[in-house]
Structure 1
């Protein structure tokens, strides 16, 4: 099924640059949820000529961190992918 879906998406869209496959079960209990933030390695180490990107990605990571702390114990889980596979 995933291979067929990827092939169909590539045919319709002309290719894929990124696929986010995210599910938010968080234990399956009533009232639970999950939030997934996609940041970047640039949030960890700023690069020349990309200050706006570095600021936005760092901001997203810090917002996710604040939400994670604020929502601790509420059955709402927050995660951040800080470097989801991009190599520079």
Structure 2
């Protein structure tokens, strides 16, 4: 599998409405890439590597993305803000110019 030198790691834990001591229902690790083309290439690489996918590529107002499973049962989100609606672009410090 190829390396992703320009990916920005993001840790997401939501929602917090769960019983005390129970794991979050939607815990996942997120990686943000610069372009939709990067996202499509990584998705294809993961499919070729037989990574267990949770979704296909999703076009979303907050940016395109997909979800898959890492070893140990942790969900991974790979997304881009390149094609996000204007109000969702630059929401991470690394994207502010």
Same fold at TM > 0.5 = no
Q: In proportion to residue count, which structure has more strand?
A: 2
Q: In proportion to residue count, which structure has more helix?
A: 1
TM-score, length basis structure 2 = 0.29
Say which one has the larger Rg.
1
Which of the pair has the greater relative contact order for Cα pairs under 8 Å at 6+ separation?
1
TM-score, length basis structure 1 = 0.31
